[in-house]
Structure 1
Amino acid sequence: MIKKFHLALCIAGALVAGCSPEVKEPAEAASAGERAAVENVVEEDVETLHRRLLTMDTHVDLDVGYFTAEKNYTQNLPTQVDLNKLEQGGLDAVWFSIYTGQGELTEAGYAAALENALAKFDAVHRLVEDIAPDRIGLATTPEEVEALIGEGKLAALIGVENAYPLGTDLSLVQDFYNRGARYMSLSHNGHSQFADSNTGESDGVWLHDGLSDLGRQLVAEMNRVGIIIDLSHPSKKANMQTLQLTKAPVIASHSSARAMNDVSRNLDDEELLAIKENGGVVQTVAFASYLNTGKYETWKEKAFAVMAREGQKTGFQMMERDQVRALDHAAQDAYYAEFMQLRAEVAPLVKREVDPLVPPVNVQDFVDHIDYLVQKIGIDHVGISSDFDGGGGVSGWNDASETAAVTRELLKRNYTEEQISKLWSGNLMRVMAEVQAVAGSLQSAEG
């Protein structure tokens, strides 16, 4: 089915003066009778509306082991995302994450990180060029996203999680762009050569007091090349400095509201308002521990006990996140592949044994963060991300096949189709267009 949406006018207008049509904020809570009526309308119409929208998820991790001729996304995998799940759930476009964990700031560390990043770039290209070109294509512009959806295909986009693989060679920014990258974060969990990480809050140890000199140069080069700057992992000080320097809108590709849940990976109100002023977008993330840490930890204790019990039957040993981070990249990837498979296999057991007694973080908790962000910075500056296959997922939206649940919950809260369209893709597509326009202007000025 060809999606019907209204992005062309918005994108064209964004190049001149932004795109901020007047829309009503979500309605106040309805009476019990009105809520029942809304529930009925939603259940009858949500699928039709959901299929009419262009839905985009800005953060999905990948394991290169699932991008081979023998094992790949055309199959039903134990991952939260594969082509069948995307099509079943009406999730049209996903940004695959070229993720590299933070390592030593040495030439050897940079070389290993670059090898990891290039392998993941190659994996995405294999998917769209060799494995399933009839079902999914690579998109690097809003127009290419629209064209692929119009052809009845899925769209793959590429983001880079952690600029660490660049080393100190900023010429690689253009190389990453040429390979399809359209956003990149300056750090991950650990201070990079470019920026301090949010993780400095845990021990009060900082490396650059925000951005390094090289990080400031990277901001300028990303603006010039046309790669969106992603604020989801750097420290608050690094983010605020980036917002002062950048000539183009930014995004937070997978972050939620710190006022709702006080963890360093979420954005506080000062950051949110600065992103609004910048014209950027915060892609609310369905990562349970970022949404409601207390609720998640209570559920996790019981659910992971079930997983550990079942994992022992096959020899799989559960590990804490810090233990996993201490592994090398290959061992991390292997662990997470086994973990995801085990999680998928025991999900029915957890749902029966744990969820009725200890409720998990769910779609309602996720949309609570969307509500807060919309009220704080406006409908034009909020989007949606999952962090699937990287730890994300909540009850009700725990893999791509369940994507319509988010649309359903937004409808229940009286968001209009126009507003939901902005949340799912319109706002992010506007930023893509504006960043490309800024890059074009900067390149023209160079002569």
Structure 2
Amino acid sequence: MDRSRLIFIFVGVGILAAIIVAIAVPVSLNNKSKRSPELARQYMRETPLIDGHNDLPYQFKKGINNQLQTVNLNERPPWDPTHTDIPRLRDGLVGAQFWAAYTSCDSQYNDAVMHILDQIDVIKRMVQMYPETFDFVTTAEGIRDSHENGKIASLIGVEGGHNIDSSMASLRMLYELGVRYMTVTHSCNTPWADNWLMDEETTPEHNGLTDFGKDVIREMNRLGMLIDLSHVSVKTMNDVLDIVTAPVMFSHTSAYELCNHYRNAPNSILTRVKENGGVVMVNFYTKYINCPPQNVTADDGYATLAQVADHMDHIKLICGWECVGFGSDYDGVGTVPEGLEDVSKFPDLVAELIERGWTEEEVKGALGNNLLRVFDAVEEERDALAADTLPYENTMPRDSGAEVNNTCRTYVYNP
């Protein structure tokens, strides 16, 4: 065979190979893109997506004064914005939901306990009204059973330590009613713990937890109640991590490194949560995802589904994939990212993680296995402490701070 013919053959083969690659690569990428949504839904059918925080119960309070019989959750609720109803929960393949029992900081020192009971009651009544959809559960195993039975496991998380009114007895009674996490503060200090706004102050009120506050944390470990560090100051986070004997959670918090908002967790804390074995469930609020606003004029800024995935990637990098979860804050925030407009969009975010190379184990961890591991560990610690740890009986000192001359208090003293 002469040299010119050989060159012609080599060139022809090269051109043919280039054509095959040019066709095959887009087809391969397209197949991957098509496969990711399918895989996302498969993984979500096999492992419950557990959302750490949804404020629908507060919308009941604001919108209809908790008169549940005036709305049908099988249809879109009448208030705006609305992120949650049963059809969209089903479309979003939500497997378990921590429903937030929230009361305003204005209720502190006044009627917080009454309001929190009101919120717990409305969550329980909602579950009872739609038994074909919801299961009320209080254990990790209950979440697994509900998912296997095609129900949405419904749990209660109290948002804000002010709701126990500085009373260990109130904390214990909330647990008896089914509350399984409490956010140590909301956006106000309690008499025993500093909230996230103190990170903007040079002189925080308590510099983290007071001695009574530390005992509240210990009592939560004894009860088997998950300790939620969303909304607290960094010093409070560190104080809690110094004394807990079980993993902690952040029910709706993102990464400070990507968005410098004090509601987010810094790398120093993410590193400690990894050591603690806890979980950080990423918040979707635009202010906590993309701050400051980039090239926009809207007050709350603008964010995308991809940026939420960036936060999950970052937490995975610093804290480990075992640390990541979903904590949407739906119906508790005014603006959410493009692509995550409501609870029906969860599969799109799961598909994005798959596109980014998250393995099946990592995706299923973020979906719910990470939270279930934490929940199991909290329950195991409760059982281990049960034999020799009695309830904490100390009371909040009434001779300092806002408790002084508090006319809302009545006291009974021993003779």
TM-score by length of 2: 0.81
Q: Distance in 1 between matches of 2:207 and 2:91?
A: 46
What's the secondary structure of 1:219's corresponding residue?
A: helix
Tell me how far 1:37 sits from its aligned partner. 4.6
- In structure 2, the partner of 1:383 is 325
Contact 2:159 2:186 in 1 (8 A): yes
- In structure 2, the partner of 1:22 is none
- In structure 2, the partner of 1:99 is 102
Distance 1:111 1:414, change over 3 A: same
What's the secondary structure of 2:99's corresponding residue?
A: strand
Count the aligned residue pairs.
Answer: 356
- In structure 1, the partner of 2:5 is none
Say whether residues 1:57 and 2:55 are aligned partners: no
Counterpart AA for 2:326: I
Q: Distance in 1 between matches of 2:36 and 2:184?
A: 41
Unaligned 5+ runs, structure 2: 1-24, 391-415
- In structure 2, the partner of 1:407 is 350
Q: Deviations over 1:9-50 (max 9, x none)?
A: xxxxxxxxxxxxxxxxxxxxxx98865453232255443444
Match of 2:278 among 262, 277, 280: 280
Distance 1:125 1:43, change over 3 A: closer
Tell me how far 1:413 sits from its aligned partner. 0.5
From the CA coordinates, give the structure whose radius of gyration is larger: 2
Structure 1 residue ranges (4+ consecutive) displaced by more than 6 angstroms after TM superposition: 31-34
Say whether residues 1:116 and 2:115 are aligned partners: yes
Q: Distance in 1 between matches of 2:208 and 2:287?
A: 25
Q: How does 1:347-362 map to 2 (within 5 A)?
A: 360-362=302-304
- In structure 2, the partner of 1:370 is 312
What's the secondary structure of 2:387's corresponding residue?
A: helix
- In structure 2, the partner of 1:71 is 71
What's the secondary structure of 1:103's corresponding residue?
A: helix
Identity of aligned residues (%): 28
Q: Distance in 2 between matches of 1:212 and 1:100?
A: 23
The CA RMSD measured in Å over matched residues stands at: 2.1
Say whether residues 1:207 and 2:192 are aligned partners: no
Counterpart AA for 2:339: G
Counterpart AA for 1:394: P
- In structure 1, the partner of 2:13 is none
Contact 1:299 1:360 in 2 (8 A): no
Q: Deviations over 1:90-133 (max 9, x none)?
A: 112111111122237xxxx334111111110000110112x112
Q: Distance in 2 between matches of 1:193 and 1:423?
A: 34
Q: Distance in 1 between matches of 2:67 and 2:322?
A: 35
- In structure 2, the partner of 1:315 is none
Contact 1:296 1:361 in 2 (8 A): no
What's the secondary structure of 1:98's corresponding residue?
A: strand
Q: Deviations over 1:391-426 (max 9, x none)?
A: 163211121111111111011111122211100100
Q: Could you say which structure has the greater relative contact order, defined with CA pairs below 8 angstroms and 6 or more residues apart?
A: 1
Q: Distance in 1 between matches of 2:295 and 2:102?
A: 25
Contact 1:102 1:192 in 2 (8 A): no
Q: Deviations over 1:376-398 (max 9, x none)?
A: 11111111110001116321112
Distance 1:49 1:245, change over 3 A: closer
Say whether residues 1:82 and 2:85 are aligned partners: yes
Q: Distance in 1 between matches of 2:210 and 2:103?
A: 19
Contact 1:186 1:194 in 2 (8 A): no
Tell me how far 1:143 sits from its aligned partner. 1.1
Match of 2:242 among 241, 244, 264: 244
Contact 2:39 2:351 in 1 (8 A): no
Distance 1:425 1:299, change over 3 A: farther
Counterpart AA for 1:263: H
Q: Distance in 2 between matches of 1:110 and 1:297?
A: 42
What's the secondary structure of 2:51's corresponding residue?
A: strand
What's the secondary structure of 1:187's corresponding residue?
A: coil
- In structure 2, the partner of 1:227 is 225
Q: Distance in 1 between matches of 2:195 and 2:28?
A: 46
Contact 2:282 2:327 in 1 (8 A): yes
Say whether residues 1:47 and 2:33 are aligned partners: no
Counterpart AA for 1:387: D
Match of 1:424 among 351, 358, 367: 367
Q: Deviations over 1:205-250 (max 9, x none)?
A: 4111111222111011101111011111111001101100111110
Counterpart AA for 1:68: L
